[in-house]
Structure 1
Amino acid sequence: MKAWTWDRYGSPDVLTLKDVDEPRLAADEVLVRVRAASVNPYDWRHLRAHPNLVRLSIGLRRPRPGLVLGADLAGVVERVGGEVTDLSPGDEVFGEVRLGAFAEVVAVPRDRLAVKPAGVGFEGAAAVSMAGHTALQGLRDVGGIAAGQRVLVNGASGGIGTFAVQLARTFGAEVTGVCSTRNVELVRSLGADDVIDYTREDFTRREGRHDLLMDIVGDRSLAALRRPLTPRGTLVLVGGIASPRAGLLGPAGQLLRGALTAPFVRRRIAKVSWKPNSTDLEFLAGLIEKERIAPVIDRTYPFAELPEALRHIEGGHARGKVAVTL
Structure 2
Amino acid sequence: MKDVTQLDPVALRTLAVATRLGTFEAAARELHVTPSAVSQRIKALETRIGRVLLHRVKPLEPTEAGLVLVRLATQTELLEREAVAELVEEDDADGTSYASLPIAVNADVLYGWFVDALAEVQSRHRVVFEVVREDHTRTAERLRRGEVVAAITGEPKPVPGCRVVRLGRLRYAAVATRAFQAAHFADGVGSATFAEAPIVAFDRSDSLQHDFVLRVTRRHLAPPVTYVPSVREFDRAVRVGMGWGLLPESDVLDELDRGDLVELVPGRRPEVALFWQHWRLGSALVDDLTEAVVGAARAWMAG
TM over 0.5: no
Bin of the TM-score, shorter chain as denominator length:
under 0.3
TM-score normalised by structure 1 residue count: 0.25
Which protein is bigger by CA-based radius of gyration? 2
**TM-score, with length taken from structure 2:** 0.26
